[in-house]
Amino acid sequence: MPDELRLVASQIAACTKCDLYKGRENTVPGEGPIDAKIMFVGEGPGQNEDEQGRPFVGAAGKLLTDLLASIGLSRSDVFITNIVKCRPPNNRAPKKAEIEACNTYLIDQIRLINPQIICALGTPAIVTLLGEEYSATKVHGKPTSKNSLTILPMYHPAAALYDGSLKEVLASDFRTLRQLLDARTKLEQPIENGRSSRGRETLEKWI
Ligand code: URA
Ligand code: SF4
């Protein structure tokens, strides 16, 4: 892990800003390369993630890995994290105050990685990144662009494990992700080292 992301991870490891620290086995800061073009933001660690200190390593993680493969990507191409970095008890949804307490780490990660696309997985992540009035049902698959950052809301992979019909919806939204990525890559080709043309300042203004 690069030093800057390691620093955020070590701050998370020592964090007691909300009550979720009390029940955790491990913190789950997230993982992936600092120059990832795509970030995935889920809801919060479950039991497997809490045990291993890694995001999306259970059944939902397997589906996420398969969906990535279906568009020619692997986990090591993307940065995967959550809106809260500690496991909520019994996998309940994270509370608003917990999400707000943890937001600073997510913002730091977004600033360091400076991704082209953030996929918000499930309504809690969608609300955190886009606002209260949004939900997966209403906006999944519909990208929103803010300056140089595109946010693509999706259903949470765990939802597709309960309701099989959502698997094809997710697969289709991943195809949208592939198209967005290809369009961005095309746009940036004429510029030497496309990423450097996009300053951090723009993202700071948005976040
Ligand atoms: N579900 C999430 O939202 N995040 C994980 O890391 C694993 C399952
Ligand atoms: Fe800190 Fe976030 Fe863990 Fe709460 S969930 S203790 S804010 S790292």
Q: What is the pLDDT of residue 189?
A: 65
List the residue whose alpha carbon is closest to atom 7 of ligand 2.
102
Can you name the residues that pair with 154 across neighbouring β-strands?
121
Q: Which of 8, 83, 95, 98 best tests ligand 2's pocket when mutated (most atoms within 8 Å of CB)?
A: 98
Q: What is the pLDDT of residue 184?
A: 85
Do 167 and 161 form a contact (C-beta atoms < 8 A)?
A: no
Determine whether the shortest distance from the Cβ of 157 to ligand 1 is under 6 A. no
Confidence of residue 137 (pLDDT cuts 50, 70, 90): very high
Residue 35 CA neighbour count, 13 Å, CB half: 4
Ligand 1 centroid – CA 51 distance (Å): 12
More confident residue, 61 or 205: 61
Q: What is the pLDDT of residue 152?
A: 98
Question: Does residue 205 register a pLDDT over 50?
Answer: no
Q: Which of 53-57, 67-71, 159-163, 183-187 has the lowest mean pLDDT?
A: 183-187
Question: Does residue 204 register a pLDDT over 50?
Answer: no
Residue 13 CA neighbour count, 13 Å, CB half: 9
Q: What is the pLDDT of residue 106?
A: 98
Determine whether the shortest distance from the Cβ of 45 to ligand 1 is under 6 A. yes
Question: Does residue 138 register a pLDDT over 60?
Answer: yes
Q: What is the pLDDT of residue 187?
A: 75
Work out the average pLDDT over 40-59: 98
Work out the average pLDDT over 59-74: 98
Do 42 and 56 form a contact (C-beta atoms < 8 A)?
A: yes
Domains of the chain plus CATH, in order, are 3-190+198-206 (3.40.470.10)
Confidence of residue 190 (pLDDT cuts 50, 70, 90): low
E-strand stretches of the chain? 38-42, 79-82, 117-121, 144-146, 149-154
Question: Does residue 206 register a pLDDT over 50?
Answer: no
Closest atom of ligand 2 to CA, residue 94? 5
